């Protein structure tokens, strides 16, 4: 582990612990270990592989207020075997990063492969278009403040995040006002499909040691709807229709799943009063079914009851230790 000192940021000394990237062996996270997040990634035969590297001006940005007394500083790690990096308060796509000078990024990730999606694949092949022309992005809308992106809200243990010194699993729920953020698919720099709102669920498995080499970082959305952007030119309109036709065949929704087992959080910069960590976005966009309203209500109730039980358990543990 290396510790970076950033004395020039905003006229104060800020210390951020970051871990050097190490090669790791693939591991699979057991989602049965989650006790508070009821949503789960869904398997799908229709997937778009996504990759956004900070070195290529893509990825996503986690950022925070450098003042430890500020609400939007984030929180300290308390989980078993946590690396000590802490939890940044905000998350956005690289194209919406607060870094200065501006990155000039136009997307968070590029489509690097396609499985399934026969209509979309045939359209791209017939027109001689590489799937790398397709991009995925998320973040606050361009006319909104950086602070309107997904964030940890009140950043309360047992409400916005869940962790324990006795468990190596941490669960975080990033939320935003649906009108302030956007998730979309693009062709070149043109938005062609908008996706609905979802919380961003972040799950960290700190492994059997404090070394980052056995950590697993996962983030995912709920299944969300996909709609075509209005006013597209004929070519982009047909491209969007091809994508949406395959989504409809697979159940009518999409889900974004990000999983990185070789985390490099050494790309640290600043801008607009924030410390910014630019991270790789590696994952998939999956065409999936959207649960019926009754199923959504059941999952919501399970999540609420789990959170209440967790807060009671945490309170009991604290009282017994006093």
Instruction: Produce one character per residue of 109-134: b if its CB has 16 or more CB atoms within 10 Å, e if not.
Output: bbbeebebbebbeebbeeeeeebeeb
Question: What are 214-268's pLDDT values in tens digits?
Answer: 888 999 999 999 999 999 999 999 999 999 999 999 999 999 999 987 777 788 9
The Cα-based distances of 296 to 197, 291, 310 in angstroms read 14, 6, 21
| Cα–Cα distance measured from residue 315 to residue 181, given in angstroms and rounded to the nearest whole number | 34
DSSP letter for each residue of 22-82: ---------GGG-SS--------S-EEEEEE-GGGT-SEEEEE-S-TTSGGG-B---STT-
Q: Which residue has the tokens 């070149």?
A: 188
156-203 residue pLDDT tens: 999 999 999 999 999 999 999 999 999 999 999 999 999 999 999 999
Asked whether the beta carbons of 171 and 162 are under 8 A apart, the reply is yes
Query: What pTM did the predictor assign?
Result: 0.84
Kindly report, residue by residue over 86-103, the tens digit of the pLDDT. Answer: 899 999 999 999 999 999
**Percentage of the residues of the chain whose pLDDT score is greater than 90:** 74
Domain boundaries, the chain: 44-290, 294-322
Alpha helical stretches, state H, the chain: 118-126, 234-250, 293-321
To the nearest 10 degrees (0 to 180), the angle between helices 118-126 and 234-250 is 150
Residue 181, strand partner residues: 140
**pLDDT for 4 beyond 70:** no
Q: Is it the case that residue 26 has pLDDT exceeding 50?
A: no
Most confident region among 8-22, 102-116, 282-296 by mean pLDDT? 102-116
């Amino acid at each position: 582990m290396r510790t970076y000192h950033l004395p020039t940021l905003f006229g104060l000394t800020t210390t951020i612990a970051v871990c050097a990237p190490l090669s790791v062996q693939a591991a699979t996270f057991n989602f049965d270990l989650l006790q508070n997040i009821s949503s789960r990634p869904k398997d799908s035969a229709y997937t778009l592989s996504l990759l956004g590297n900070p070195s290529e001006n893509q990825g996503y940005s986690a950022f925070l207020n450098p003042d430890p007394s500020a609400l939007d500083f984030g929180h300290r790690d308390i989980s078993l075997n946590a690396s000590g990096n802490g939890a940044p308060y905000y998350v956005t796509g690289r194209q919406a990063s607060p870094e200065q000078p501006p990155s000039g990024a136009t997307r968070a990730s590029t489509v690097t492969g396609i499985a399934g999606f026969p209509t979309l694949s045939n359209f791209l092949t017939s027109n001689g278009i590489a799937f790398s022309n397709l991009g995925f992005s998320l973040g606050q809308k361009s006319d909104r403040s950086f602070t309107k992106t997904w964030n940890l809200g009140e950043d309360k243990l047992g409400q916005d995040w869940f962790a324990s010194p006795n468990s190596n699993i941490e669960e975080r729920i990033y939320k935003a006002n649906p009108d302030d953020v956007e998730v979309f698919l693009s062709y070149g720099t043109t938005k062609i499909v908008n996706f609905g709102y979802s919380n961003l669920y972040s799950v960290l498995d700190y492994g059997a040691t404090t070394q980052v080499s056995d950590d697993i970082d996962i983030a995912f959305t709920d299944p969300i709807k996909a709609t075509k952007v209005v006013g597209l030119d004929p070519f982009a309109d047909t491209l969007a229709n091809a994508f949406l036709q395959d989504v409809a065949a697979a159940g009518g929704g999409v889900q974004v799943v990000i999983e990185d087992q070789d985390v490099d959080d050494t790309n640290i910069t600043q801008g607009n009063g924030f410390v910014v960590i630019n991270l790789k976005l590696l994952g998939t966009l999956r065409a999936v079914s959207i649960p019926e309203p009754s199923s959504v209500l059941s999952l919501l109730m399970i999540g609420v009851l789990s959170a209440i039980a967790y807060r009671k358990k945490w309170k009991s543990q604290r009282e017994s230790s006093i």
